[in-house]
Amino acid sequence: MSMFDLSGKVALVTGATKGIGLGIAHGLAAQGARVIVASRDGGACDATAADLSREHGGGGKIAQGLVFDLDDLAAVEPFAAAATKVFGGVDILVCNAAVLWRVGPSAETPPELFERTLTSNIHNNFRLCQAVRPSMAARGGGAIVLIGSGAGHTASPYVMAYAVAKAGLAHMALCLADEMAPERIRVNCVSPGLVRTPATAETLGEAGLDARAPQTPLGRVGAPSDVAGAVVYLSSEAGAHMTGQTLIVDGGLSRLNPPATRSRG
pTM of the model: 0.93
Active site residue 162: yes
Predicted confidence (pLDDT) per residue in 96-115, tens digit: 999 886 777 887 788 888 89
Per-residue pLDDT, 160: 83
E strands of the chain, at which residues?
Answer: 10-14, 34-39, 63-67, 92-95, 142-147, 185-192, 246-249
Average of per-residue pLDDT values in the chain: 92
Quick check: 253 and 213 in contact, CB under 8 A? no
Quick check: 132 and 83 in contact, CB under 8 A? yes
Burial of 179 (0-12, 13-18, 19+ CB in 10 A): middle
What band does 86 get if pLDDT is binned at 50, 70 and 90? very high
Q: Is 113 helix (H, G, I), strand (E, B) or coil?
A: helix
Q: What percent of the chain has pLDDT over 70?
A: 96
Domains of the chain: 10-249 (3.40.50.720)
Predicted confidence (pLDDT) per residue in 145-203, tens digit: 999 998 778 888 888 888 999 999 999 999 999 999 999 999 999 999 999 998 888 88
- What is the mean pLDDT of the segment spanning 107-133? 92
Helix (H) or strand (E) holding 174: helix 160-180
In 3D, which of 36, 17, 25 has the Cα closest to residue 85? 36
Q: How is 236-265 classified by DSSP, letter by letter? A: SGGGTT--S-EEEESTTTTTS--TTTS---
Per-residue pLDDT, 31: 98
Per-residue pLDDT, 201: 85
Quick check: 161 and 169 in contact, CB under 8 A? no
What band does 264 get if pLDDT is binned at 50, 70 and 90? very low
Is a pLDDT exceeding 50 seen at residue 263? no
Spatial neighbors of 59 by CB under 8 A, at least 6 apart, are: none
Active-site residue, from 162, 188, 189, 224: 162
Sign of CA dihedral 222, 176, 239, 45: negative
Give the residue with greater pLDDT, 246 vs 161: 246
Q: Is 38 helix (H, G, I), strand (E, B) or coil?
A: strand
Quick check: 15 and 67 in contact, CB under 8 A? no
Q: Is 52 helix (H, G, I), strand (E, B) or coil?
A: helix
Give the residue with greater pLDDT, 202 vs 7: 7
- The rounded Cα 200 to chain-centroid distance in angstroms is 16
Give the residue with greater pLDDT, 265 vs 149: 149
